[in-house]
Amino acid sequence: MAGLAATFGSGAMTNSIQELEDAEVFFVIGSNTTEQHPVIAARIIEAVRKKNAKLIVADPRDIRLAKLATLHLSHKMGSDVALLNGLMHIILNEGWEDEEYIKARTENFEQLRDVVAQYTPEKVSEITGVDKDSLRKAADIYANAKRSMILYAMGITQHVAGTDNVKSCANLAMLTGHVGFPSTGVNPLRGQNNVQGACDMGALPNVFSGYQPVTDQKAIGIFEKEWGVTDLNGKVGLTLTEMIDAIDKGDIKALYVMGENPLVSDPDSRHVARAFKKLDFLVVQDIFLTETARLAHVVLPAASFAEKVGTFTNTERRVQLSRKAIAPLEGTLPDWKIICEISSRAGYSMNYDSPIDILDEINRVTPSYGGIMYSRLIDSWGLSWPCPDEDHPGTTFLHKDKFVRGLGSFNVSEYIPPAEPPNEEYPFTLITGRVGFQFHTGTMTRKSSVLEREAPKAVLEMNPNDARQLRIRDGSIVAVESRRGELHLPVLITPDIPESMVFSTFHYSENNINELTINAIDPVAKIPEFSCAVSIRRT
Amino acid sequence: MKRLKKDNVLSFLKEMNKKENVFCPQSVEGRDLILMPLGDGVYSGDIGKTTVSAKAILFPQTEEITSFKGETISKIFDSSKILLFGVRPCEMKAIQFTDRFMTRDDFIDPNYLARREKLTTIVVACHEPPSDTCFCVDAGGMPYLENGYDVQLFDAGDFYIAITDSENGEEIVENKYFEPGAEKDKNALEEIKKRAISQKTNPGMKKAIEILKEDKLNEAFWEGLAERCTNCGGCVYVCPTCTCFNVYDLPFQGGYIRCRSWDACTHAGFTRETSGHNPRPTQGSRLARRHEHKLKYDIINFNESGCVGCGRCSDACPVGLGAIEIIGQINEQGEKNTYH
């Protein structure tokens, strides 16, 4: 999000999902779309099948979408900046850039030109492992179509260079004039149904709702007036990864976790567990008793989505109404009610009668949500922000005619290697992800019999050549060891993963792959890298 | 032969609902048409084609089948009487198909049968295809039924012409809302039938059946199609003849309830064995299994295709792998393949 905010002025999908149908080129990088965003993948697949759209997939693994791709670039883990700079180098060399667009709508182009000049195909091919021909082909396909779309997900953001990776995607799009038009843009796919909404509402350490900085006097004024207080301190808080370190150091004594299971989902989870045990007071609010909740001093049972009214904001910035289908189970409350009760007991009385009241407040204090009123969400498929007033129809694609920040800013990055490259002792690169049948730490999906049957346990995917060399059979148990821990996992031999790389999922607390992963973080967004070096031996 | 004024349908259903549970096509806020208990949505008079077939009534998405606590085991049956209004002929054919399947070789499914015995059906024949994906005629059926229903209604403008095929049906048309028919209704009915069979969608099922019978397709064909399958299971869930299920136990009040839920043969775990071995190891092999089952083995076993041509899988599939598209691909490939 930080990457797109710096370059475009807004960190969200520039286009709507519907627009995928008319894209001519998809450049999918760091997204296992078929498994993680199947609805979006289906649109891509149909555009390829029915309209002959071209599909470039950049992913180390031969993921399902890659099998349908015009071109699959299997680049090395963490080499995204080099790959993207390399494509821009070729585009500039060939004169495929959009000169007019660069002049009219962007700034800092010279800086970009100077840096990408060093990313020759030879050098990039060496860093990424992608051959020069494929690089040229990808640059050609992407640059020389009218409606090209970049789609990405955690595969490029969860890196020490996560922000750089995103900025480089934005650079590529601006260089070729591929943003600000229908079916043309840069589209981060959000990994949860309402993570866009949570960010929009200021569930971040540095902003109020609608990305109004907590340090901004004008914003502080708006919220002090709305909430009837006078002492909002204007200080930026900590991110999740920073909090865990602060707990470990003893700087944080109490923690309130809502709908998260960091004990399983965060990297280096033994470190997380050690830190959490130091807390004087831990509160967990969730719909099930998660691994994190088991450590809590107080557990607050929350109502599920089906038991409450509210809105979700999906990946295309669309705010949709979610209704109550059944009454909350005995002893549970909707999250908003729990928060209000606690706030009131803590001395600040929150007197909302319903989620509609809360949405009214959101309308008043959040310019981009100004016209997203409850009455307009009934009987509709929702509204996409920005939607500043009640007559505004919502916005399907962003940055039309001009970027949110004015001129698009080329924010050029240099390639930096992964935090923990493989070496003799730990010769494999472990990457982690999800499968389509499980969601995150499985707190919900593992309770569904068919979903659990489809993906019942963690496996370690390994290339057949590596397996042969280590004399490992399909299904046999191996010890996987990183600098932080060791796990025993069954092997799934598959040519879909390149040599020297292994893959596993983080759904399973009984075999928690995050005991091995690394919490090296991106300096801007503070997002952890996860991927790390491991050794593998037979057991 | 009787008449039922369209304006009277809702009153008739409301009256019937006092005695039994009436289900009919309704929608909530103009969204998907679904067979729901009367009053759960709005009945607009549109029979259309419901997103999920009548299967969901006889064989619910999830149902409790047994409960056990300590030494006691109790079977759970739903014994309420159901009147199903607005079943389409293709769905009724699917129910007839399922009746045979659920009682074959003396393996009787008691839960299905308990519901089926309490079910009365009012079929509404299709005077025109309710959607572009309808291909019942190509699939060997008709947009009306010759037999096997309780009441069948034919759309004659402001009213339906009603005919019956059971004692249950006879009893229903005795209801005050059914009026005596006119002499000309017989001719009108024949006219409606004639008009009804003109269908635009004809994927060529008979030819596809021949190709499958002759084993003309190889693995590569199915794997090629499977590359775009997202494995959502939607085709199976909406299919009126797919009745595979998964059984599991849920803890409840100190005991357990055994439930069953719809399952899909397109999922890997459906055929995976305890050892980890899977006789249908790839998505292509599972796709092949599903379509060969319907268009080859059902014909061998029951002399009837397992696909009734309702087209729901083609409506539901997000990547164009419904029966219409698959049949089209089978025919295209069958023509290309010269080997046997």
Tell me phi and psi for residue A165, to 5 degrees. Answer: -60, -45
Whole-angstrom CA distances from A84 to A29, A264, A297, B103, B229 are 10, 32, 47, 62, 30
Interface predicted TM-score (ipTM) over 0.85: yes
Q: Annotate A432-458 with three-state secondary structure.
A: EECCCCCCCCCCCHHHCHHHHHHCCCC
Q: A68 and B227 in contact by Cβ < 8 A?
A: yes
Spell out which residues of chain A touch residue B29, defining contact as CB-CB under 8 Å.
Answer: 379
Q: Annotate B260-300 with three-state secondary structure.
A: EEECCCCCHHHCCCCCCCCCCCCHHHHHHHHHHHHHHHHHH
Q: B319 and A64 in contact by Cβ < 8 A?
A: no
Count of CB atoms situated within 10 Å of the CB of A469: 10
Spell out which residues of chain A touch residue B281, defining contact as CB-CB under 8 Å.
Answer: none
Spell out which residues of chain B touch residue A39, defining contact as CB-CB under 8 Å.
Answer: 318
What is d(CA B200, CA A373) in angstroms, rounded to the nearest whole number? 44
CA angle B123, B234, B301 (to 5 degrees): 65
pLDDT tens digits, chain A, 539 residues: what are they?
A: 778 888 988 888 999 999 999 999 999 999 999 999 999 999 999 999 999 999 999 999 999 999 999 999 999 999 999 999 999 999 999 999 999 999 999 999 999 999 999 999 999 999 999 999 999 999 999 999 999 999 999 999 999 889 999 999 999 999 999 999 999 999 999 988 899 999 999 999 999 999 999 999 999 999 999 999 999 999 999 999 899 999 999 999 999 999 999 999 999 999 999 999 999 999 999 999 999 999 999 999 999 999 999 999 999 999 999 999 999 999 999 999 999 999 999 999 998 999 999 999 999 999 999 999 999 998 888 999 999 999 999 999 999 999 988 999 999 999 999 999 999 999 999 999 999 999 999 999 999 888 999 999 999 999 999 999 999 999 999 999 999 999 999 999 999 999 999 999 999 999 999 999 999 988 888 899 999 999 999 98
What is d(CA A520, CA A529) in angstroms, rounded to the nearest whole number? 6
What is d(CA A390, CA A57) in angstroms, rounded to the nearest whole number? 40
Sorted by where each begins, the domain ranges of chain B are 2-196, 205-336
Residues paired with residue B121 on neighbouring β-strands, in sequence order:
B84
What is d(CA A423, CA A420) in angstroms, rounded to the nearest whole number? 9
| Model confidence at B339: pLDDT above 60 | no
- Say whether the peptide bond before residue A386 is cis (omega within 30 degrees of 0): yes
Report the SS3 class of residue B93: helix
pLDDT for the residue B340: 46
Closest CA of chain A from B280, distance in Å: 14
Q: How many CA atoms lie within 13 A of A179 on its CB side?
A: 31
pLDDT for the residue B275: 86
- A31 and A152 Cβ atoms separated by less than 8 Å: yes
Tell me phi and psi for residue B83, to 5 degrees. Answer: -110, 120
Q: Exposed, middle or buried: residue A423 (CB in 10 Å: 0-12, 13-18, 19+)?
A: exposed
- A139 and A97 Cβ atoms separated by less than 8 Å: no
Q: B246 and A453 in contact by Cβ < 8 A?
A: yes
Strand order in the sheet with B255-262: B72-75, B62-69, B255-262, B245-252
Q: What is the pTM of this model?
A: 0.92
Whole-angstrom CA distances from A360 to A319, A336, B17, B248 are 14, 14, 42, 44
The DSSP symbol for A327 reads P
Helices (H), chain B: 9-16, 55-58, 89-102, 110-117, 167-172, 185-196, 205-213, 219-226, 234-238, 283-292, 298-302, 312-316, 323-336
| Model confidence at B284: pLDDT above 80 | yes
What is d(CA A170, CA A27) in angstroms, rounded to the nearest whole number? 12
Pick from A39, A68, A453: which is nearest to B228 by CB?
Answer: A68
Name the closest residue on chain B to residue A38, using Cα atoms: B230
What is d(CA A338, CA A286) in angstroms, rounded to the nearest whole number? 11
- A252 and A246 Cβ atoms separated by less than 8 Å: yes
Q: B261 and A450 in contact by Cβ < 8 A?
A: yes
The tokens for B174 are 């005795």
Sorted by where each begins, the domain ranges of chain A are 2-189, 195-384, 428-538
Q: Hey, which bits of A444-499 come out as E strands?
A: 460-462, 477-481, 486-493
Contacts of B248 (CB under 8 A, 6+ apart): A449, B258, B259, B260, B261
Listed residue (A164, A10, A492, A223) closest to B281, CA to CA: A492
Name the closest residue on chain B to residue A492, using Cα atoms: B276
Pick from A46, A379, A436: which is nearest to B320 by CB?
Answer: A46
Report the SS3 class of residue A118: coil
Contacts of A168 (CB under 8 A, 6+ apart): A80, A81, A84, A85, A88, A412, A413
Q: What is the mean pLDDT of chain B?
A: 92
Q: B268 and A454 in contact by Cβ < 8 A?
A: yes
- A241 and A519 Cβ atoms separated by less than 8 Å: yes
User: How many Cβ contacts (< 8 angstroms) between chains A and B?
Assistant: 45
The tokens for B85 are 């209004």
CATH of A2-189, one of 3.40.120.10, 3.40.50.460, 3.40.1190.20, 3.40.228.10: 3.40.228.10
Closest CA of chain A from B320, distance in Å: 8
Count each helix (H run) and each strand (E run) in chain B, helices first: 13, 12
Q: A449 and B231 in contact by Cβ < 8 A?
A: no
CATH of A428-538, one of 2.40.40.20, 3.30.930.10, 2.160.10.10, 3.20.20.70: 2.40.40.20
Spell out which residues of chain A touch residue B227, defining contact as CB-CB under 8 Å.
Answer: 64, 67-68
Listed residue (A197, A154, A210) closest to A314, CA to CA: A197
Residues paired with residue A534 on neighbouring β-strands, in sequence order:
A428
Spell out which residues of chain B touch residue A67, defining contact as CB-CB under 8 Å.
Answer: 227
Q: Hey, which bits of A191-305 come out as E strands?
A: 254-258, 281-286, 298-301
pLDDT for the residue B338: 56
- Segment B189-203 shows an average pLDDT of 85
What is d(CA B96, CA B205) in angstroms, rounded to the nearest whole number? 20
Q: A449 and B246 in contact by Cβ < 8 A?
A: yes
Report the residue count for chain B.
340
Listed residue (A77, A91, A29, A31) closest to A56, CA to CA: A29
- A132 and A121 Cβ atoms separated by less than 8 Å: yes
Whole-angstrom CA distances from B285 to B48, B265, B281, B289 are 34, 10, 7, 6
CATH architecture of the domain with residue range A195-384: 3-Layer(aba) Sandwich (3.40)
- H or E element in which residue A49 lies: helix A38-51
Spell out which residues of chain B touch residue A436, defining contact as CB-CB under 8 Å.
Answer: 230-231
- B158 and B6 Cβ atoms separated by less than 8 Å: yes
